[in-house]
A and B are shown apart, each in its own frame.
Chain A
Amino acid sequence: MDTDKTARIGATNKKVHISLLHLVIFLLIYAINLLLFLAFRGYFFLIMGIIFTTLVPFSFYMAWRLTDYVKAVLISDKERARPGEAVEIIFTVNNPSFLCALRAAWFLTAGNSFYGTFDDQKLVLSIPPHGQKQFLMTVSMTDLGRIVFACKEFCITDLLGIFVIHSDCALDNCIFILPQADSATEVSVPETFSGAAELSESNAKGNDYSEVSDIRTYRAGDRPKDIHWKLSAKQQEPMVKERVSLSGSEHILLLDLPHEKNNAEELLTESYHQVKALLNRHMAIRLLIWNNHLFSFDSYSCNSLEELETAFCEIFHTSLLSHNSDILRQYMKNCYPQLESYMCMAYHEDHAQLEICING
């Protein structure tokens, strides 16, 4: 079990909702008992009246206190999975008290954060007294991305069904869905690509073969050519690009993600297999992907399969944003002006393909 999110819930922010239907039904039964009592003056109906009267606060108290005691855990048996692979999601409710609830609902949100698709579900479980209740969900995912299961709120219904006590909680669990490790077709990297995008550091004066690692405010001593003029204009103060020198043996692979989901899915899968093939040839790859939030390229160094998968997880942490390929290449030129060429995985004419791009 890789992920374990436990939350003590219910201590704060409890809200009570009343189910009118259940209230009306209860009042109807109460009224019938009252009428019978008035008609018969029976001791039995007197006792039943007292029981019914006491039952309401009793039932409410049970539910109210239970929200303080109950603890929930949301875990999964895998952190990373492949499309179609079964993943066990285990929702466990622990109740240290002797109070119980026959109906508790957990508002689950399930979705893919990479594609921004989320849907709400309501998981209905009864809570046993002084015990544990598990709900095992076997899920399988068809899409790549970061699958998030979260629960921000739960509610416990009292025994009579009249009061529904809502309470906040903070449970979440995520699973990264990576492309299939074993591709059905062997990916072959054209020979011409080998070394074509290799970054060679020139000894020419003034050339700086490095990549931007950060952007910061201008400090005395910074080179004027490092000033990020466009950003400085936006920020109203001089900003400079902090550079890290790139080693001379890495191959740059730019992921030009299309905005359409299925195309992006295909491109990512193809990229994964291409990079894996390159890694098999002992080539070092640096993945670049445009981050619209940071307004820069995210860079992931992949020297092994593990690093590749970590890189994909990092990519899936972001969200798929649309952009224009031409502008992306322009950004590439701006950010890496010294780079002569690079590999680019782009989607053209209904399929993803790897191509060599001349920077400039």
Chain B
Amino acid sequence: MAKILQKKKNKPDILLSEGIILSGCFYEKREGTWANLLVRAIFLFAIVTGSLGGMLSAFQISYIKWAFFLTALFAALYCASLYASGWWENTGYILIFIVVAYSGLRLRTYISSGFYGILNDISSSASIFFESDAQVSYAEQVENHYLAITVAMCYFALISCIVTNGLISRKSKYLAASVPAVLFLMVPIYLEHEPEGIYVILLAVGIITVYIYRQNQYLSQRPKQKVLLKAAKKHLLLGNFSGGAALGALFAVALLCTVIVSVTELLIPKDSYLAGNARSSFKLQTMDTMENFYLLGVMGLINFYPTTGGLVNGRLGGVGSVRLDYETDLTLEFVPYTYDRIYLKSFIGAEYIPYENHWSIEDQTAYLESQKHDTADRLEDAFLSGRDGYARAVMKIMNVAAMSAAYLPYYSNNSAVLIPPTQEAEYTFFPLLGEVPDGSADPLVSDLWLEVPEENREVIADFCDKAGLSGSSQEIIDGLRDYFQQEYPYTLSPGATPRRKDFINYFLAEKRKGYCAHYASSAVLILRYMGIPARYVEGYAVDAAEIAQDAERTAQNVSDYYEGTSLLAQSSVVSYDVSDGNAHAWVEVYDENLGWYPVELTPYWTTQEESRNSLWDMFTRLFQTEGNAPSVEINAPNENTGAAITDTIRSSAPRLVFCLVLLIVAIPVWFLTKRLIRLYRYSHADRNGKLLMLYHSMIQKESRNELKNMKNFEEQIAWLAENGFLNQNWACLEDLIQTLNEAAFSQREISAEAFDEACRIINGR
């Protein structure tokens, strides 16, 4: 049993066995300290150059490499030397910080210019990867791009060495060192650019060497006293960590990495590998997000209009991905009467503002025209005349959490009835059941219904050429619908529109995918371009299948809600909850006979799109209730939009719930298990073990850094006494120190009396 007998100048003697004392001075007989420091400098150098140099080599950015390597080498040697002695560590850090600050100040123009130069080069590669014309560029102040990048890289090497050295610290924290290093390389790897072999070797050697040192419990150049005390307690005699062995291990790892990298590049050439394996499903799923991030920075990851289904009164482009909460927005009470989709119109967009990306209806003529309800009036007249094929219906709408607006079913003449949140309103409407009413619609007055902004004309002209749109209005609409279906896949995560990009142009010419707002907006301008009056409409859309599945029957009298012809054989008054999943945008087209009527041009939502749902979507689904959960089948006959959610996604919710529950349960279980283990150990420990556990428990409770850094019981208890945590006289505390020393280092078990007394002092503090 190793026992600390006494302390002389912090060199404890160790009792190897009864009557055999090992002098503590053997700890001072250190071998190869400088070799150790050299190894530390080498792996520091390898990590820094491997990550920074690797990133630049991947993007093929030119700079003076030898200057970068030399700076990194000197910085690594310097940082490693800081561990040679305690006083030098503090002084050395102050000196290097002064150097960093001074050089940063003097070379700030070059450094910032070089940094921007690097970003511009990366941006160039990113725009190719994202197949985007948009490119982020920064103004470089120094004309000499090559020199500026070299200066910046040298400066970064200096800072990286200091930071990495600090991260690795004395305890060889390999994760802290390797995570930032690998993160640097992830940027080019994501963009399908790979670092050169030499940098891969450097980084691999650096990371693996630090890992190996850690796993072999190589902690520091100079083990602290408490490390030695712990070792002595475990019967460990810590010999010196040989610098020769460290160099040997480093050399072996370097040799292995070099051979593997060389052989791999020989057998699997990088280019041929990238050609076949570059795209993964992870990349495909995250490309939109990453592109937003690339174009807009962190703000690109945030939805600017996170309200109902990504639709906010014609504001477009601020939603990177539609995130649905499936909470009830409206509750409808009505009598189902058709197999078709029921639209509730809340916003009409007349004028599209390019680059500002929103629909407005500020023009007074257009506004007044949009408020007209001549079709509803004609349908009402037809109904009142008692003809078959017409009906009058009532829909009660409770605004649970939607915006304050009128939610007009087709065709209603109650456009003045707004429903504020938490309030209810009743709309009378006259459904179009196939029979077009007599007469003709009021002629259009405003020119806005045919206006296409100049900025969009070129793109739309190209689009119409490619889509081959021609013929009658209906043929154009059908052709457009088919073309969207074939060439413009639906997605809830199209990504935000980049700055300085027009929403419709970007969708039609570049992104070529989107959700209902993209299709409706573009279709309006396309139809107008083709001479068909059209306007943009937002609101809610409810499919008959959803109603059939999820609506609840009420005891209300049908005749109070519906009169006249119905397309359904049997009807009753139902209550149906509309969520943000039903939010939708569509197109209204003007017909001389019918007036404005809704046209659906958003493509079907395919199962392929399901996999593109973000984790956030899945997460929000966890909180949906059975009542408001959408339940439209993906193969349902009605076209689907942002309202369509598949059962497949729904089925994944329980798994996610399970994982979350597991996580929530695991945390207390983990703490409970730790507690039980501690109790088990306590119950099975002898008096020495029990006393030490009690003492360490007390120390942990105090959680003071001063306390943790103290090397022995004497210092700790003196500190506790001075700070009022132990309120005993010094004689008692000395007894406690002696008992603790015996418990920690003696072979013999302490007496029951001593144990009780020590426990009394600790517990009664």
Residues of A whose CB lies within 8 Å of any CB of B are 22, 25-26, 29, 36, 38-48, 50-51, 54-55, 58, 62, 86, 98-103, 108, 110-112, 115, 117-129, 131, 133, 135-143, 145, 147, 157, 159-162
20 extra A-B contacts, CB within 8 A, seeds A44-B200, A125-B239: A39-B283, A41-B277, A46-B268, A47-B200, A47-B204, A51-B204, A58-B252, A103-B216, A110-B17, A115-B18, A119-B18, A121-B237, A123-B237, A123-B239, A128-B242, A129-B244, A138-B22, A138-B23, A139-B23, A142-B21
Quick check: B248 and A160 within 8 Å, CB to CB?
Answer: no
Q: Mark B231-243, 1 if CB is under 8 A from A, else 0.
A: 0001111111111
Kindly specify which of B185-193, B329-337, B618-626 makes contact with the partner chain.
Answer: B185-193
- In the complex, A25 Cα to B175 Cα: how many Å? 11
- A44 / chain B contacts, CB cutoff of 8 Å: 54, 185, 189, 194-195, 200
User: Which of A51, A54, A101, A133 is the most central at the interface, judged by chain B CB atoms within 10 Å of its CB?
Assistant: A51
Closest to B2 in A: A121
Quick check: B236 and A159 within 8 Å, CB to CB?
Answer: no
Minimal beta-carbon separation of A97 from chain B (angstroms): 10
Quick check: A41 and B280 within 8 Å, CB to CB?
Answer: yes
B20 at the interface (CB under 8 A from A): yes
Partner of B260, one of A47, A101, A147: A47
- A39 / chain B contacts, CB cutoff of 8 Å: 280, 282-283
Quick check: A119 and B1 within 8 Å, CB to CB?
Answer: yes
Quick check: A160 and B22 within 8 Å, CB to CB?
Answer: no
Quick check: B17 and A118 within 8 Å, CB to CB?
Answer: yes
Quick check: A46 and B23 within 8 Å, CB to CB?
Answer: no
Closest to B212 in A: A159
24 pairs from A and B in contact (CB 8 Å cutoff)? A25-B215, A29-B211, A47-B200, A47-B260, A51-B260, A99-B252, A100-B245, A100-B249, A102-B212, A102-B241, A102-B249, A110-B17, A110-B20, A123-B237, A126-B242, A128-B242, A131-B244, A136-B26, A137-B26, A137-B237, A138-B25, A159-B253, A160-B215, A162-B215
- A133 / chain B contacts, CB cutoff of 8 Å: 31, 239, 242, 244-245
- In the complex, A143 Cα to B19 Cα: how many Å? 5
Partner of B279, one of A41, A62, A137: A41
A141 and B26 contact, Cβ closer than 8 Å, known pairs A43-B194, A58-B256, A128-B248: no
- In the complex, A248 Cα to B670 Cα: how many Å? 83
Quick check: A108 and B22 within 8 Å, CB to CB?
Answer: no
- A45 / chain B contacts, CB cutoff of 8 Å: 189
Partner of B273, one of A43, A108, A138, A140: A43
Minimal beta-carbon separation of A127 from chain B (angstroms): 6
A119 and B280 contact, Cβ closer than 8 Å, known pairs A102-B216, A129-B248, A161-B215: no
Minimal beta-carbon separation of A39 from chain B (angstroms): 4
- B29 / chain A contacts, CB cutoff of 8 Å: 136
Partner of A147, one of B20, B186, B264, B273: B20
- In the complex, A118 Cα to B19 Cα: how many Å? 10
- In the complex, A138 Cα to B248 Cα: how many Å? 29
B304 at the interface (CB under 8 A from A): no
- In the complex, A48 Cα to B249 Cα: how many Å? 18
Residues of B whose CB lies within 8 Å of any CB of A are 1-2, 16-23, 25-26, 29, 31-32, 54, 182, 185-186, 189-190, 194-195, 200, 204, 208, 211-213, 215-218, 234-246, 248-249, 251-253, 256-257, 260-261, 264, 268, 270, 273-274, 277-280, 282-283, 747
- In the complex, A110 Cα to B3 Cα: how many Å? 14
Partner of B245, one of A129, A135, A141: A129
- In the complex, A137 Cα to B235 Cα: how many Å? 15
- In the complex, A120 Cα to B745 Cα: how many Å? 14
Quick check: B17 and A40 within 8 Å, CB to CB?
Answer: no
- In the complex, A101 Cα to B245 Cα: how many Å? 6
User: Which of B1, B16, B195, B283 is the most central at the interface, judged by chain A CB atoms within 10 Å of its CB?
Assistant: B16
8 closest A-B pairs (Cβ-Cβ)? Answer: A128-B244, A143-B19, A161-B215, A100-B248, A129-B248, A42-B189, A125-B239, A126-B245
Quick check: A51 and B245 within 8 Å, CB to CB?
Answer: no
Quick check: A62 and B217 within 8 Å, CB to CB?
Answer: no
Partner of A40, one of B190, B213, B235: B190
Minimal beta-carbon separation of A125 from chain B (angstroms): 4
- In the complex, A159 Cα to B25 Cα: how many Å? 28
Quick check: A128 and B245 within 8 Å, CB to CB?
Answer: yes
Minimal beta-carbon separation of B395 from chain A (angstroms): 49
Minimal beta-carbon separation of A306 from chain B (angstroms): 25
Quick check: B17 and A119 within 8 Å, CB to CB?
Answer: yes
Closest to B17 in A: A119
Quick check: B23 and A120 within 8 Å, CB to CB?
Answer: no
A111 and B20 contact, Cβ closer than 8 Å, known pairs A22-B215, A102-B245, A159-B216: yes
- A140 / chain B contacts, CB cutoff of 8 Å: 20-21, 23
Closest to A261 in B: B18
- A86 / chain B contacts, CB cutoff of 8 Å: 23
Quick check: A117 and B19 within 8 Å, CB to CB?
Answer: yes
- In the complex, A98 Cα to B238 Cα: how many Å? 23
Quick check: A41 and B283 within 8 Å, CB to CB?
Answer: yes
Quick check: A139 and B204 within 8 Å, CB to CB?
Answer: no
- In the complex, A117 Cα to B18 Cα: how many Å? 7
Quick check: B242 and A110 within 8 Å, CB to CB?
Answer: no
A43 and B270 contact, Cβ closer than 8 Å, known pairs A51-B204, A103-B216, A138-B25: yes
- A145 / chain B contacts, CB cutoff of 8 Å: 19
Minimal beta-carbon separation of B189 from chain A (angstroms): 4
- In the complex, A51 Cα to B261 Cα: how many Å? 8
Quick check: A111 and B18 within 8 Å, CB to CB?
Answer: yes
Closest to A35 in B: B282
- In the complex, A121 Cα to B20 Cα: how many Å? 12
Minimal beta-carbon separation of A286 from chain B (angstroms): 29
Closest to B246 in A: A102
- In the complex, A127 Cα to B251 Cα: how many Å? 14
- In the complex, A58 Cα to B195 Cα: how many Å? 25
- In the complex, A161 Cα to B213 Cα: how many Å? 9
Quick check: A139 and B20 within 8 Å, CB to CB?
Answer: yes
Partner of B18, one of A26, A112, A126: A112
- A103 / chain B contacts, CB cutoff of 8 Å: 216-217
Partner of A141, one of B19, B195, B243: B19
Closest to A134 in B: B31
- In the complex, A158 Cα to B257 Cα: how many Å? 17
Quick check: A40 and B18 within 8 Å, CB to CB?
Answer: no
- A55 / chain B contacts, CB cutoff of 8 Å: 208, 253, 256
- In the complex, A213 Cα to B237 Cα: how many Å? 46
- In the complex, A124 Cα to B1 Cα: how many Å? 16
Closest to B186 in A: A40
- In the complex, A58 Cα to B257 Cα: how many Å? 11
- A124 / chain B contacts, CB cutoff of 8 Å: 236-239
Minimal beta-carbon separation of B274 from chain A (angstroms): 6
- In the complex, A253 Cα to B251 Cα: how many Å? 66
- In the complex, A350 Cα to B23 Cα: how many Å? 32
- B32 / chain A contacts, CB cutoff of 8 Å: 128
- A127 / chain B contacts, CB cutoff of 8 Å: 242, 245
Minimal beta-carbon separation of B325 from chain A (angstroms): 28
